[in-house]
């Protein structure tokens, strides 16, 4: 069992895109000029690939069913909204009708994906390299990760710019396994990045000559896949550069130095190294290879001042307005569920927070690379900081593990860190989904990270072995189309309960709130019919004052609230449940629940039944080592555990 890090979350509020996938095949130079005959074999082939993608993706299939009378070229578009006028910017594509539409959203800027004019909420995770040794990765390994993403309700994956270019498929030169072709088949959009990450690159002729063919060939290869949704120039570099202005003695030079290194009078002498590389050089390569896949300079960015010419906003922003991406690094366990510390942004790309059988022993610390050692010291001399953050989080929010058996205690610590990670992530994702109906109009969240490159302390939701961690089941819950969520503000003792929907039409359903004590006795039940507009919320409860919120005559440590919602989506029943505890589980009056497990073989399935004499938070079923799979609800077929 891996240790789950649950202490920090990075948010990318994707602030802009110009258009979405069209899958141009640049190998043949098909879209070099944007001029293609009205009818051609190439066009027919691409149309068929689009149709296959739409049929396989549940979201796109739903749109297809409702827009059958529209031509296929109208199915996919990207709507890009800015508060500043962007008149006349239009990228023609022979295969999809794209436009830059303005909604005048202020303050700041805004963008969202839309298909045939229908906005949708992007839900997903981040992909890192699957193995330290590329050739060791198999199709089965990758297929399991991608199918797990689909099973948990995801529709977009970010290919991290600190890793490697993912292959198209095992049949393409250099490919060892299927990635983009598998995304095409499964209906997952891929946010692709050029492989530049977390540093300032010294721009010179040698660097430019070496990276030009690398970037061009990979963009050309990947663009033919309809799953490719966008290109980012790199990972987190813009923030490093703009932040260096105030923290480094040469910070302004990094951003604004006169560029005399290039050895060419054709280059603007006032270009900075950063701006030249990411605003000009890489942008020109990508846009020369595609007219249908948008480019952003960085995974984390404040957006642009202009699209034509392409000009980054950087720090040219008005205080209090919302621009581009936002990030939340939080290793303070006391702030893990403090709503006031969660970012308010347009779009979220979510990152998770952070003797052989001794939790703080040498073996575990040697696998903990947070914070990084900064040198070749072993074990990591900074690992105690990361271990302390995990320890503090568990002690604060969960019962502290402790038995007379050191192996069992170690397993409890591993388990508890995974539970905290899921609790923290689910709470934040619910907050961002709530934002779709608020002023920030948040329309996406991508979690860091989906997979693992090796065994060890990690932010992943799936272990290197393929085993689902607690977070993967948590994502399945919070990425359900219709969810019910509690939002507790401790400062003013306010509890808000919302039903949130990312369904493209209005949804009707029923919400139920049930207060229990820890013995399992129902104390108070209330039901309410709800109607939730598309990409919005419906309020079920808003109450202040803890003493008036909890059932009369009970202490906060003795009770908890179960939240349920059921609704009809596309003719099928959708259910979701969450819980609210007025105090931390570390302070709750829990007692031995006397858990019992029974199983029965039914055909090809094994049915497990759990029972207890009292409430048992975070009770889980695990499967044996080397078994790859997940547990699912016997009625809905959805992944479910605990």
Active site residues: 236
Return d(Cα 147, Cα 160) in angstroms, integer: 19
Return d(Cα 496, Cα 486) in angstroms, integer: 6
Angle between the N-to-C axes of helices 41-56 and 58-66, in degrees from 0 to 180, rounded to the nearest 10: 110
Q: Beta 118-119 vs 122-127: how paired, if at all?
A: unpaired
- How many other C-beta atoms are found inside a 10 Å radius of the C-beta of residue 543? 13
Q: Is the dihedral of CA 426, 432, 433, 434 positive or negative?
A: positive
Return d(Cα 211, Cα 527) in angstroms, integer: 60
Return d(Cα 396, Cα 388) in angstroms, integer: 12
Element (H, E) at 481: none
Nearest one of 173, 155, 277, 162 to 218, comparing CA atoms: 173
Structure token digits, residue 426 = 């689910």
- 266 Cβ neighbours under 8 A, 6+ residues apart: none
- How many other C-beta atoms are found inside a 10 Å radius of the C-beta of residue 77? 22
Return d(Cα 178, Cα 200) in angstroms, integer: 32
How distant, in Å, are the alpha carbons of 5, 414, 426, 462 from that of 391? 10, 10, 20, 21
Nearest one of 4, 106, 9 to 341, comparing CA atoms: 9
Distance of alpha carbon 84 from the chain centroid: 28
- How many other C-beta atoms are found inside a 10 Å radius of the C-beta of residue 622? 12
How distant, in Å, are the alpha carbons of 484, 489, 504, 525 from that of 540? 9, 16, 21, 13
Q: Beta 156-159 vs 189-193: how paired, if at all?
A: parallel
Structure token digits, residue 255 = 């951003």
- 359 Cβ neighbours under 8 A, 6+ residues apart: 3, 387, 391, 409, 410, 413, 414
Cis before 371? omega within 30: yes
Distance of alpha carbon 120 from the chain centroid: 15
Residue with tokens 């989906």: 450
Structure token digits, residue 49 = 């690939």
Nearest one of 245, 70, 145 to 462, comparing CA atoms: 145
User: What's the start-to-end Cα distance of the chain, in Å?
Assistant: 16
SS3 call for 110? strand
Return d(Cα 373, Cα 51) in angstroms, integer: 49
Q: Is the dihedral of CA 475, 12, 431, 560 positive or negative?
A: positive
- How many other C-beta atoms are found inside a 10 Å radius of the C-beta of residue 306? 14
Output DSSP code: residue 281.
Answer: I
How distant, in Å, are the alpha carbons of 505, 534, 585, 592 from that of 66? 11, 15, 46, 52
């Amino acid at each position: 069992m891996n240790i789950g890090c649950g202490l920090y979350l990075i948010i990318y509020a994707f602030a802009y895109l110009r258009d979405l996938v069209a899958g141009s095949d640049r190998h043949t130079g098909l879209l070099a000029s944007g001029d293609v005959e009205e009818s051609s074999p190439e066009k027919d082939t691409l149309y068929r690939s689009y149709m296959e993608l739409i049929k396989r993706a549940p979201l796109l299939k739903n749109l297809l069913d409702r827009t059958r009378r529209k031509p296929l070229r109208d199915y996919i578009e990207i709507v890009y909204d800015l508060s500043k006028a962007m008149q006349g910017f239009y990228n023609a594509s022979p295969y999809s009708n794209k436009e830059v539409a303005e909604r005048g959203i202020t303050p700041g800027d805004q963008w969202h994906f839309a298909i045939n004019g229908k906005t949708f909420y992007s839900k997903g995770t981040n992909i890192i390299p699957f193995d330290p040794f590329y050739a060791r990765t198999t199709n089965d390994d990758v297929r399991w990760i991608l199918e797990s993403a689909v099973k948990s309700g995801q529709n977009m994956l970010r290919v991290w710019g600190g890793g490697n270019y993912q292959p198209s498929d095992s049949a393409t030169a250099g490919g060892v396994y299927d990635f983009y072709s598998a995304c095409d088949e499964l209906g997952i959009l891929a946010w692709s990045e050029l492989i530049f990450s977390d540093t300032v690159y010294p721009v010179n002729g040698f660097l430019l000559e070496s990276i030009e063919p690398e970037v061009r060939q990979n963009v050309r290869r990947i663009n033919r896949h309809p799953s490719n949704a966008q290109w980012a120039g790199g990972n987190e570099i813009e923030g490093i550069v703009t932040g260096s202005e105030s923290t480094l003695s040469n910070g302004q030079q990094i951003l604004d130095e006169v560029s005399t290194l290039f050895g060419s009078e054709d280059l603007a002498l006032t270009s900075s190294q950063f701006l030249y590389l990411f605003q000009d050089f890489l942008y020109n390569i990508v846009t020369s290879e595609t007219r249908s896949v948008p480019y952003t300079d960085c995974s984390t960015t404040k957006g642009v001042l202009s699209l034509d010419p392409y000009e980054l906003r950087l720090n040219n922003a008005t205080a209090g307005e919302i621009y581009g991406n936002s990030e939340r690094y939080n290793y303070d366990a006391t702030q893990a569920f403090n709503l006031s510390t969660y970012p308010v942004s347009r779009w979220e790309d979510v990152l998770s927070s952070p003797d052989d059988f001794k939790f703080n022993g040498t073996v575990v610390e040697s696998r903990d690379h947070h914070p990084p050692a900064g040198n070749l010291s072993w074990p990591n001399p900074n690992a105690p900081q990361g271990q302390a953050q995990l320890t503090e989080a568990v002690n604060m929010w969960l019962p502290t593990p402790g038995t007379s058996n050191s192996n069992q205690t170690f397993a409890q610590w591993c388990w508890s860190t995974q539970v905290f990670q899921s609790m923290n992530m689910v709470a934040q994702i619910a907050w961002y989904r709530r934002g779709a109906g608020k002023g920030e109009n948040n329309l996406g969240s991508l979690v860091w990270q989906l997979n693992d490159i090796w065994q060890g302390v990690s932010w992943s939701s799936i272990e290197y072995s393929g085993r689902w961690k607690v977070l993967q089941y948590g994502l399945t819950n919070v990425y359900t189309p219709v969810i019910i969520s509690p939002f507790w503000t401790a400062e003013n003792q306010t509890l808000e309960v919302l039903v949130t929907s990312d369904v493209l039409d209005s949804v009707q359903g029923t919400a139920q709130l049930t207060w229990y004590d820890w013995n399992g006795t129902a104390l108070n039940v209330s039901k309410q019919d709800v109607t939730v507009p598309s990409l919005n919320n419906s309020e079920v409860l808003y109450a202040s004052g803890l003493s008036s919120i909890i059932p009369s005559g009970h202490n906060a440590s003795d009770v908890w609230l179960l939240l349920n919602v059921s609704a009809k989506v596309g003719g099928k029943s959708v259910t979701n449940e969450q819980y609210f505890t007025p105090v931390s589980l570390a302070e709750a009056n829990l007692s031995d629940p006397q858990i019992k497990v029974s199983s029965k073989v039914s055909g090809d399935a094994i049915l497990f039944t759990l029972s207890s004499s009292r409430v048992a938070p975070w009770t889980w079923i695990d499967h044996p080592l080397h078994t790859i799979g997940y547990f699912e609800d016997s009625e809905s077929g959805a992944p479910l555990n605990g």
